[in-house]
Structure 1
Amino acid sequence: MIKKREKATQIELSKELNITNQALSQYELGKRIPDAEMIIRIAVFLMFPLIIFWTGQMKG
């Protein structure tokens, strides 16, 4: 997972998403899969198109 928005830290992102830092770390490491609602919340915070999360590909 890339923290694009103002180079957000893991702690900032986890606070914004109202999840633990450990849960976010598990998402980033692929040890836990976020549900669709969480994926949308992450995409909105990071200002990424949702398609990135389903294809795993980024351009540019």
Structure 2
Amino acid sequence: MKEIVLSLVTGVIVGFLFTLFRLPIPAPPALAGIAGIVGVYLGMRLFHWFTAFWK
């Protein structure tokens, strides 16, 4: 849980600073981009599950 809170706080700070300096946000601006990131994570977890299953 601590990692999640630290990640969220870091994201808020980075988002604030990027907006303050009028830089483009370093994250996907659309739901499709976020879904892609979640898909990559789920693919990694699925791979680990399959490799643990076959051992």
Q: Give the structure-1-normalised TM-score.
A: 0.21
More helix by share: 2
- Structure of greater relative contact order (alpha carbons < 8 Å, 6+ residues apart): 1
Q: Give the structure-2-normalised TM-score.
A: 0.22
